[in-house]
Amino acid sequence: MIALLAPGQGAQSPGMLAPWLALRGAQRRIAAWSDIIGLDLLRLGTTAATEEIKDTAVTQPLVVALSLLVAEELTRRVELPTDAPITGHSVGELAAAAVARVLTADDAVALAAVRGHEMARACALAPTGMSAVLGGDPDDVMAVLAELGLEAANYNGAGQIVVAGSLDALATLAAHKPARTRVLPLPVAGAFHTRFMAPAEHALTQYATHLTAKNPARPLLSNADGEVVDDGTEMLHRLVTQVTRPVRWDSCMATLGALAVTATVELPPAGTLSGLVKRAMKGTVTLALKTPEDLDKAAGFIRDQLGTTRCATVYSGADLSGTLV
Interatomic CA distance for residues 276 and 110, integer angstroms = 28
Length of the chain: 325
Angle, CA 82 vertex, CA 81 and CA 88 arms, to 5°: 95
Q: Which residues contact 13 (CB under 8 A, 6 or more apart)?
A: 50, 269
Which of 109, 113, 152, 118 is CA-nearest to residue 133? 152
Q: Which residues contact 287 (CB under 8 A, 6 or more apart)?
A: 263, 264, 265, 266, 274, 294, 297, 298, 301, 315, 316, 317
Query: CA of 252: how far to CAs of 89, 90, 105, 212, in Å?
Result: 9, 12, 23, 25
User: Quick one: angle between helices 56-77 and 105-123, nearest 10?
Assistant: 160
Interatomic CA distance for residues 282 and 257, integer angstroms = 10
Q: Cis omega (within 30 of 0) on the bond before 61?
A: no
Phi, psi of 37 (to 5 degrees): -100, -5
| SS3 label, residue 295 | helix
Interatomic CA distance for residues 77 and 120, integer angstroms = 37
Query: CA of 60: how far to CAs of 46, 241, 255, 256, 310, in Å?
Result: 15, 16, 25, 25, 37
Which residues are known catalytic residues?
Answer: 90, 193
